Amino acid sequence: MFFAEVCSGSSVLWFFTSWAFMVTFWLYLAHTVFFVNLALIFKRTSLSSLYLWGVMFGLYEAWITKVAWAGYAGSTPAQGTILGFAVIEFPLIVLFWHPVFSFIMPVLSFEVLSGEKRILPGHLAVLTKNRRNWALVLIIAVISALFLSFNSHGNVLAADLSIIGSIVIIAALAWIASKKYKGQFSIESLRLGKLGMGILVLYLALLYVGAFIFILPQRIAPPLTLLLTLCIYVVIGILLYLKKPNEHTAEASLVGKIFSLKDLEVLFGVLLVLTTVFSILVPIDYILIMVIYLAMYVTSFVLMGLAIYSMIKERRAKSPVAA
């Protein structure tokens, strides 16, 4: 909810709305836990793998909200469609926003919040405190502050309270988890058993079918586009299958080397300050958002290209010679 909805400004003051507690919160929780479990089960947990899982996550914007096909609610696709897919909206939300903000950022933040001594394979590169990673964190903060302030229509109180309220909820739940489940609070604690996965799959199935039929049915794509949407799942599944599985490895002496809870607090503080500033400078926000939109659009294809390149590189790599 925080990274996907608050940082985009889509759910301002979400904790005061019944729709968020009945639908949106559970939608994001279910998708995140489901794809984390698939990543753990199939041992595809590297950042490039998480990106691909995140693309599957983002495809809910086709079946449930219909945005990937017909544009945002109340509007038409900004630059039309190709084969039934919104030219601008599809790459932005399916190839960029949801993989990065709805999936990768929550997973990485969860690892930091749980204070793990062992992190998922491939995550050390982006969780290590260095100039590059701090720059990436600041970019995330700038994007978030811009969208939140702009979609709050310059209402600095609503924007800031959206951040503060969300952080209070996150901090409270993290504190409870660390105290009540001491020693068990880790990314592995999200792993479900057969019953849990069964319930989760049933919930998602009901959500998809119900939303597909009853939410904006007039925006349902034609049969060819529906088939192509299913083909995207198949293609992403093949890419994940072709990637090599990641084995858990113990990371020694990570304390002080990777981002910590204090660093998250700094990030939230920076986000709050930037949101306040951008809320006061709303006319300038529009220009900056247009630049960010273009950058995100280009980056969406770059990220997909990098994920494919990563798979090819792994396949070409020689297998280690047995000792």
pLDDT of residue 249: 53
C-alpha span between 58 and 97 (Å, rounded)? 8
What pLDDT score was predicted for residue 25?
A: 96
- Enumerate residues 6+ apart whose C-beta is below 8 A from 308: 239
Residue 217, amino acid: P
The tokens for 71 are 């544009």
* Maximum alpha-carbon separation in the chain: 64
What is the distance between the alpha carbons of residues 5 and 35, in angstroms, rounded to a whole number? 18
At 320 the pLDDT is 52
The Cα–Cα gap between 10 and 289 comes to 15
Give CA separation, 66 vs 7, 69, 134, in Å. 21, 5, 35
What pLDDT, on the 0 to 100 scale, is given for residue 230? 98
Structural domain contains residue 110: yes
Whether 93 maps to a domain, the answer reads yes
List of residues 6+ apart from 52 with CB closer than 8 A: 44, 99, 236, 239, 240, 243, 307
Task: Enumerate residues 6+ apart whose C-beta is below 8 A from 215.
Answer: 64, 65, 66
In a domain? residue 21: yes
Total domains in the fold of the chain: 1
Contact (Cβ atoms closer than 8 angstroms) between residue 282 and residue 155 = no
Residue the block writes with tokens 């599985």: 245
Torsions phi, psi for 46 (to 5 deg): -65, 165
Residue 163 located in a structural domain: yes
Q: Which amino acid is at 227?
A: L
Nearest CA to 145 out of 167, 168, 121, 162 is that of 162
- The residue ranges of the chain whose pLDDT is under 50 are 250, 252, 321-323
C-alpha to C-alpha distance for 53 and 104, rounded to whole angstroms: 9
pLDDT of residue 252: 43
Domain boundaries, position 161:
2-311
In the chain, the amino acid numbered 4 is: A
What pTM does this model have? 0.93
Report the SS3 class of residue 81: strand
**Cα–Cα distance for residue pair 73/87, rounded to 1 Å:** 15
Closest CA to 49 of 200, 231, 189, 245: 245
In a domain, 258, yes or no: yes
250 C-beta neighbours (distance < 10 Å), count? 8
Q: Do the bridges between strand 85-86 and strand 81-82 make them parallel or antiparallel, or are there none, so unpaired?
A: antiparallel
For tokens 């969208």, what's the residue? 147
- Comparing CA positions, the residue from 23, 57, 11 lying closest to residue 240 is 57
User: Looking at the domain assignment, is residue 19 inside a domain?
Assistant: yes
pLDDT given at position 293: 93
pLDDT digits (tens, 9 = 90+) for 252-308: 455 568 898 899 999 999 999 999 999 988 778 788 999 999 999 999 999 999 999
Question: What's the confidence (pLDDT) of residue 319?
Answer: 54
| Residue 54 domain flag | yes
Assess if residue 317 is contained within a domain: no
